Each structure stands twice: as C-alpha cells, then as structure tokens.
Amino acid sequence: DLEIEAGQFELGTLALPHLRRAVFRTGGLSKTAAKSIAAASWPALVHLEVYFGDPQYGCTATSKDAIAILGRTDLKQLRYLGLKNAMFQGDLIPHFAASKLVRQLHTLDMSSGILLDEHVDTLLAHKAAFAHLKVLDVSHSWLTKAGRKRLQGIAGTLLTEGCWDEGDSEYRFVHIGE
C-alpha cells in the first residue's frame, strides 16, 4: 500500500511492480504529480484513488491529466478507480464512459468534486457504460435530492452520502480543499 496525504507533493518516476493500493489525497494535485501517476508502472495495482483539489489550493492538474489515467490499458488488475475531488468532475463523465479501463472496474468513485444536477443527463446518456459497476460513488458532491433520485439504478449500488442540496454556484467547492 502507498498512501500520501499532503498539501503539495512531487512523485517522480514510480515503478512499483507489487503495489496493490495507491491513494494520493490532496487539496491541490500538481500537474507533475498527476503525470507521474498517469505514467506509473504498477501492474499489480487493484485500487487507485487520486484527489485533484482546487486551483486555490495549488491544483495545477487538469482534466487532461485525469483523462491520461483513464487511457491506461496496462492496469489489468485495477478494480477500484477514484478520480475524485475535482473541480472538473462533470467534464470527465464522457471519458469515464468511453474508457476501456472503466469497463473492468467494480467501483468507480467520482465523489467529493463538482458534480451537479446538470451532469445527471450526461451520466444517464451513458448509462450502459456504468451498468456493470457494483458501486458508483457520487458522495459529497453537489447533486440535489432530485438529481440523486434520477440516478438510481445506474449501477448496482449508488453511493450519495453527504451531498449538498443547496449552494450558490459562486461558492461551490471540492470536498477537500486545504
């Protein structure tokens, strides 16, 4: 297991052939750290969680960096993928749906980011891409009760704990910022 929780960190080249679980928890993931994660050699990896964060807290990683992870074809053992806590959470939905990597997962974790009711239609338009999932996690997002209700049945289990039903769009934030 490798778990890093920090405000800022850099990783360099990661070659971890026996690593099974990696978690990178931050309120501000750097572009270089995201590139290291996307290029890491970890063929035995089963569980990957990446928290992106907010530019106000140092996040320089973008949706393109998350999409690079989704493009991986060499993570044959991966069953849990969390690309979460992102300001651009909704922008990833079509990429999750098109990803071959997502097809092998049992859990897709999209929690803790800016996921809104306006993204529900996009999720439902790609419902077939998520139907195989045992768990789809959209917890701690900005989905209202009505939005969460519309998503029922999209995966085996839909996790929606801690969603914020209200909030001025000007003040929406990711779950973990600092």
Which pLDDT does position 20 carry in this prediction?
98
Residue type, 106: H
Q: What is the largest CA-CA distance in the chain?
A: 45
Task: Report the C-alpha gap between 22 and 29 in whole angstroms.
Answer: 15
Tokens of residue 63, six digits? 């949706």
User: Angle at the Cα of 37 (from 27 to 51), degrees rounded to 5?
Assistant: 25
pLDDT tens per residue across all 178 residues of the chain: 999 999 889 999 999 999 999 999 999 999 999 999 999 999 999 999 999 999 999 999 999 999 999 999 999 999 999 999 999 999 999 999 999 999 999 999 999 999 999 999 999 999 999 999 999 999 999 999 999 999 999 999 999 999 987 656 677 888 887 6
Which pLDDT does position 171 carry in this prediction?
75
Residue type, 126: H
Which pLDDT does position 169 carry in this prediction?
67
Rounded to two decimals, the pTM is: 0.95
Query: In sequence order, what are the residues at sequence separation of 6 or more whose Cβ sits closer than 8 angstroms to the Cβ of residue 149?
Result: none
